[in-house]
Copies of this chain bind each other. A is one copy, B any other.
Amino acid sequence: MKDALSILRRCKIQPTPQRIAVVEYVLKSKAHPSADDVLSYARKKCPTVSRATVYNTLNLLVEKGLLGMQTIKEGAVVFDSNIEKHHHFVDSETGDIYDIPWDQLEVKGKDKLKDFEIFEFQVILRGRRKKK
């Protein structure tokens, strides 16, 4: 029940060869592919698939909750005159970014991550800023 076709059907997304190619790759991959990675793969199965279709399909999958989307990679950067360590809160509506003082949050459990040597970390929160 994990083939691309039935996944699409189950989510009421009309299956097409293009969408199947996208889903096959993206839902199996344990890496974190970029849209362009997906495009490259999809073109192997479906050489005429267009960039727009890949983007549309990925967005569809995200809307349906089948796929997560993370803005971790570089590509759009903002600068921060506050060079104290701090966390960030992003207003989902406006995109505004607020600094959260470092000592307001505590992250426990990092020392249990044996596979990783941690240079730095931060908490990113998203939501809505309350009006005063």
Residues of chain A whose beta carbon lies under 8 Å from any beta carbon of chain B: 26-35, 38, 58, 61-62, 65-83, 88-90, 92, 95-98, 100, 104-110, 112-130
Contact = CB atoms under 8 A, between A and B. Distances in A.
A108 B106 contact: yes
- Identical copies in the complex: 2
Nearest to A121: B125
Contacts of A79: 26, 32-35, 38, 58, 61-62, 67-70
A126 B33 CA distance: 18
A122 B90 CA distance: 12
A108 B110 contact: no
Nearest to A82: B68
A79 to B, nearest CB: 5
